[in-house]
Amino acid sequence: MKYKRILVTGSAGFIGFHLCRRILERYSDVEIIGIDNMNKYYNPVLKEMRNNILKKHENYTFLKLDFSHYDRLVENLKDRDIDLIVHLGAQPGVRYSLKDPWAYERSNLLGTLNIFEFARRFNIDKVVYASSSSVYGGNKKIPFSEDDRTDYPISLYAATKKANELMAYTYHHLYGIEMVGLRFFTVYGEWGRPDMAYFKFAKSILLGKPIDVYNYGKMERDFTYISDVVDGIVSSMERSFNYEIFNLGNSKPVKLMYFIELLERYLGKTVKKNLLPMQEGEVVVTYADLRKSRELLDYNPKVSIEEGLRRFCNWFLENKEWILKL
Ligand SMILES: NC(=O)c1ccc[n+]([C@@H]2O[C@H](COP(=O)([O-])OP(=O)(O)OC[C@H]3O[C@@H](n4cnc5c(N)ncnc54)[C@H](O)[C@@H]3O)[C@@H](O)[C@H]2O)c1
């Protein structure tokens, strides 16, 4: 790894945790400074548990910090000789952005501006940041390619992610910072996010509760297993670019009903399904075109939905005592 002191924002989050763990396990000469505000959008006990695993590594330093406060960011990080930022911290979730849009304004707009300003002020050459497949909105043309128009976000969450890509371009143009945006497609796996549908489904299946299935189950998602996403992030850190955006998906959309069937199979129980109409802000299909990521990142997702869900369900079953209380 050509970078030696990496700032990872959202390090106690799902993707941040897996990325930090990968780097700490594979590169003994790399130090990570992780920041997270441990907010309560979903149960912070899970964030604490992930963070405790990371803290066992001597090359991991954790600071509980909210990056929507610029002065605190500067005060705590200015003398730390950071040579790369991987900005994964954000207010995620499409549905919640209809309830509390200000949380998205603070973390995703102001927070990301603060991170980019910090990079400019302290001469950090490169920022890798999280975008989302949700920027493709209701696009009809599939698979979604990085060249497609993304001017019609259908949730505020998507609008903030699109705004991040535009802000990144400006910081690249004005200050020459290398900016790499990664559009993740429905990432799932062990230590995942309890607010996401697959996690809620697994919980309900084990508790014997019915699940809400929107658009009467007629949806497809390009589910991407966490280790494949981490491969893509690491590759985007190691290669040099100017300003780029990459899809990190699986390019194999899965029908929601088949997905639920797999969960039932690996958890060993069936579930009652409440078939409901489509929810505001959601899209019917996500499907990543990976030609650019394959070519420039050598990105090649390896874990099938069957294998990924089998691993997730095994982890879930082994830890169900505490997971079911989340
Ligand atoms: N998981 C997915 O399927 C998915 C899909 C598309 C995009 N993304 C994006 O990937 C990134 C990581 O997502 P994740 O799934 O790991 O989510 P996560 O919620 O598990 O992780 C994000 C972390 O950021 C922290 N955070 C939020 N606001 C903060 C602030 N103001 N200051 C400091 N820390 C703050 C949270 O406490 C959380 O631990 C996010 O930018 C998300 O929008 C995720």
pLDDT for 319: 98
Ligand 1 center to 268 CA (angstroms): 31
Lowest-confidence segment of 24-33, 210-219, 226-235, 279-288 by average pLDDT: 279-288
The yes-or-no verdict on residue 282 having pLDDT over 90 is: no
Distance between CA atoms of residues 183 and 19, nearest Å: 16
Question: What pLDDT is attached to residue 108?
Answer: 98
Can you tell me the distance from the alpha carbon of 221 to that of 160, in angstroms, rounded to the nearest whole number? 21
The secondary structure element, H or E, covering residue 117 is: helix 111-121
Condensed to tens digits (0 to 9), the pLDDT of residues 296-315 reads 999 999 999 999 999 999 99
Q: How far is it, in rounded angstroms, from Cα 170 to Cα 177?
A: 9
Please name each of the domains of the chain with its CATH number: 5-323 (3.40.50.720)
Residue nearest to atom 38 of ligand 1 (CA): 13
Mean pLDDT rounded to a whole number for the chain: 97
pLDDT band, residue 251 (cuts 50/70/90): very high
Residue-level pLDDT at 101:
97
Q: Where residue 29 falls among pLDDT bands split at 50, 70, 90? A: very high
CA–centroid distance, 248 to ligand 1, in Å, is: 16
Question: 157 an active-site residue?
Answer: yes
Q: Tens of pLDDT along 90-138?
A: 999 999 999 999 999 999 999 999 999 999 999 999 999 999 999 999 9
**Nearest CA residue ID for atom 20, ligand 1:** 13
Q: Whose CA is nearest to atom 43 of ligand 1?
A: 92
DSSP string, 9-49: ETTTSHHHHHHHHHHHHH-TT-EEEEEE---SSS-HHHHHH
Half-sphere exposure of 265 (CA within 13 A, CB side): 12
pLDDT at 81: 97
- Residues 169, 179 contacting (CB under 8 angstroms): yes
User: What residue has token string 């890509």?
Assistant: 165
What pLDDT shows up at residue 280?
83
**At 260, is the pLDDT very low, low, confident or very high (cuts 50, 70, 90)?**
very high
Å from CA of 87 to ligand 1 middle: 9
pLDDT at 283: 87
